Chain A
Amino acid sequence: MKLQEYRSKEILARHGVPLLAGEVATTPEEARGAAARIGGPVVVKAQVLVGGRGKAGGVKLAATPAEAEQRAREILGLDIKGVTVRTLLVAPAADIAKEYYLALILDRAAKAVTIIASAEGGVEIEETARTSPEAILRLPLDPLIGLQEFGVRRVGFFLGIPAELRRDFASVLRGLTDAFFGTDADLAEINPLVVTQTGELLALDAKIVLDDSALPRHPELEAMRDLNEEEPAETAAREAGISFIKLDGTIGCMVNGAGLAMTTMDLVKLAGGEPANFLDIGGGAKADRVAAAFRIILDDPNVRAILVNIFGGITRGDEVAHGIVEARSTLEREVPMVVRIVGTNAAQAAEILRQANLITAESLDDAAAKAVAAASGAPGSA
């Protein structure tokens, strides 16, 4: 789960990272009030989780409270990559002398938490990785000892932190590290970390991505989830215990297992169609979860056909088939449905599906082809 900038900064500030916190505003008037309290020039920043908000006009400078109100009016309601801006951060503007990149990540290849640092801050780190990989330091932390003084020094010297700021830099890196481990993060990033014209070291922007598996033990972080940023269908899926990502195609997919779900999408594409979603219904799915999955899929008006691909494994295929037939009778919208159930009791499952007039398929390739054909026909056919 990604946290908004202002949430990430709250957490970093709590761990002693120096930053200009600013205030959150949801109306132009609030932005004006915030700017007045801050005094001096401010920056008005859209709080969205998608990248590229600056280019989309979501970050603007304002010299006065009146101007902050005007900028807030422009940014609120803006559509940035499909997300409507509802929240702003109004923060003191900083005169930047130097920008750095600093992050900790869960590094699956190194089997460690790794510090990533670059003196080329303010740009996307992927861009730096492409153009000048030598400008990036990667320092895996020993799992036994974590971040030690020598590690702090190594990163500081690599970045060329001025001598008078080394002590401040140590608290930034220590604070970022504590925030990473304290929140069970996958990523904790400061970009840019800046030195101002007046010689202060400050975190100007921050991003924390949390490990979803650790969220159950961090209810205070779960409470920071921004439902405005989620597709309503994705929220509904999460609450039903279904893994779902909306895509742009016309063929809704319902599959058990993430790898098989991705494969099903790939084969839809290979058969000339476009998947409408990724959907992993999880193990041991019962009729109610099947029904929830159907509702979520059909909530997307682009969906013209549904492809169900279940590898029953130890789950009985006939039970899954009954679940599908039951769930289907409760649906409000009728679209062609291609169902493939493999594994235990697949023959009984096929019979149940045939009696219910569902299109069945033996192989996954065949199922994908039938779904693509069904989606290109008139809605409601078959």
Chain B
Amino acid sequence: MTDFTDLWPILGLSLQVALSAVLLSVLVAAPLGTWLGLSAWSRSTWVRALVYTGMALPPVVVGLAIYLLLSASGPLGSLGWLFTPQAMILAQTILDIPFVTGITMTAVAAVPEDLHFQARALGASPMQARFAVLREARGGLFLAVATALGRSMSEVGAVWMVGGNIEGHTRVLTTAVVLETGKGNFAFALVLGGVLLAVALALNLAVLRWQDRPLP
């Protein structure tokens, strides 16, 4: 197992699961966060408390819930997703959604209220005005993406529970680190950990390059 050729499928699946989960969570949660941020909901203590509590969701609890949903006798058992990458992506997406929602909501709510009116007063449709506000909140959106990426790359409990850490099928960097440590292969575990950090750094650099590119 200290053969480094094993590394590539593990790294590949880690990226596939993390990037898919980030994409799906952004598709769901960025519009949701924008809507909340523009509405009076973002000032409601209860809404904020619920969204922020979502950020504290223990991955093992999400893992357990998805395990029960996807198990053969569970309501979604017929999908046959348990111990597949799809189950891992589903778990990561659910874990990312509160982060993307909360950070987007807070960033959008921080844009001055007059900006929406100003856009409408210059002829923006309601949808165009929402995008104008979202554009002003782009720093927050990038933070949301970076946070979701970091969480997805480094999470271990949920992906282990619903993926099963099956070699060549559902093994990702984090679950491999746990396994190799348990086996006493500390050198390979350390390499995996280093790779994980390097990949996280590369992804963040890419996100920040994109954020910092000059605007027209």
Do A and B share a complex? no
